[in-house]
Amino acid sequence: MNRIALSLALVFSSVPAHAQDGAATTPGAAERLTAVFDRAAQLPSLKSVVVSRDGQIIADRGYGGHTSREPTNIKSASKSVMSALVGIAIAKGELEGVDQKIAPILSRDLPDDPDPRLAQVTVGNLLSMQAGLERTSGPNYGRWVSSRNWVRSALSAPFEAEPGGPMLYSTGSTHLLSAILTRASGQSTLALARSWFEPLKDFSITAWDRDPQGIYLGGNQMAMSTRSLLAFGELYRNGGKTPEGVQIVPADWIAQSWQHRTNSRFTGDSYGYGWFLRTMAGRDVRYAWGYGGQMLYIVPSLGLTVAMTSQEDAPSARTGYRDSLHQLMTDIILASETGTADRPG
């Protein structure tokens, strides 16, 4: 499988943790955030962090010669982007809804003697990682992407649970969503993303791997900058609208995506449609998480969106690095919330 070529933009060794684009913040908050960002320099894999408050960037810091504008493989954080594409497709009538059965759409890739439970798997089951099929992530990932047909391989996997049962985190599920979008619309998933997100400034997918049949890999191997990831998060924080008021993602889809549907067996965190849900510093937080430490956090009650990117070649869970990023986010919340009033949501 071809690896994404991640080209570097003009590099600065460190961008000050103050507003870069005319955003205003109180001197006290700026000082607190600067201290938080200075401490974050101890995290060896961290590449960049950008913080936005009420639609204004209040902090932007690069580490180790990296900047927030260079492309990074956001890994499984792209699963949240896939969820958005499904929500838009439903609103546009390309898909019927979350209860739509997937087997008729993917009929030509079903195994010769399919398990009867395949007929019960829905689009919603794939979004919430409750398809019941054996995971293609973790130790099974290499074997899966070495197969000749990733869609057929995912559909041929044995069932480990009933559809709608416990969460089985699997990139195969989001790749099936990419195949479904392609079959239903007649366009590639990348073409759909570029068309549907075109009004969102600063959002850009700069590279994306495809499977042997040319279907873009749903839920992995997608490159975008930290600023682009932040723009996507801001879209969700703002109810699916761009700063100019253009509705891209339906507001009710965001509400559905942030509704608890199951729980991760690894962290215990809640999971909706492509988003994890947890509490940090007493605040409800929605977040996307990619291998290596590609993170997008949204705190609606504070009007806060934070994007973080890291080196992509090291696990973040087993080493405790993900927990360090969660702590960094907690520190950002605490530094940001002093003396502010809560926002609705």
Full DSSP string of 262-285: EE-TTT--EE-SS-EEEEETTEEE
Q: Nearest 5 degrees, angle CA 187-CA 191-CA 52? A: 140
Measured at the CA of 74, the angle between CA 71 and CA 79, to 5 degrees, comes to 140
* Full DSSP string of 190-203: HHHHHHHTTTSTT-
Task: Check: CB of residue 188 under 8 Å from CB of residue 216.
Answer: yes
Residue among 130, 147, 80 nearest 265 (CA): 130
Q: How distant, in Å, are the alpha carbons of 33, 67, 293, 322, 336 from that of 47?
A: 17, 7, 10, 14, 21
pLDDT in tens, the chain (345 residues): 333 333 222 222 233 333 333 334 555 777 889 999 999 999 989 999 999 999 999 999 999 999 999 999 999 999 999 999 999 999 999 999 999 999 999 999 999 999 999 999 999 999 999 999 999 998 999 999 999 999 999 999 999 999 999 999 999 999 999 999 999 999 999 999 999 999 999 999 999 999 999 999 999 999 999 999 999 999 999 999 999 999 999 999 999 999 999 999 999 999 999 999 999 999 999 999 999 999 999 999 999 999 999 999 877 766 789 999 999 999 999 998 764 545 544
Distances (CA, A) of 27 to 24, 170, 273: 9, 44, 38
Contact 1, 50 (CB under 8 A): no
Question: Are 221 and 209 spatial neighbours (Cβ–Cβ below 8 Å)?
Answer: yes
d(CA 239, CA 219): 22
- The pLDDT assigned to 315 comes to 73
Contact 333, 75 (CB under 8 A): no
Q: What is the pLDDT of residue 25?
A: 52
Q: What token pair was written down for 1? A: 């499988």
User: Which residues on adjacent β-strands are paired with residue 73?
Assistant: 223
Helices (DSSP H) in the chain: which residue ranges? 27-40, 78-91, 123-127, 141-145, 150-155, 171-185, 189-196, 226-237, 251-257, 321-337
Residue whose tokens read 């992530």: 137
Do residues 87 and 250 make contact, with C-beta atoms less than 8 angstroms apart? Answer: yes
Query: Within 13 A of 315's CA, how many CA atoms are on the CB side?
Result: 6
For the chain, what are the domain ranges?
78-185
- d(CA 39, CA 33) in angstroms, rounded, equals 10
Rounded to an integer, what distance in angstroms lies between the CA atom of residue 245 and that of residue 274? Answer: 24
CA dist 275 and 169 (Å) reads: 12
E strand or H helix at 296: strand 294-299
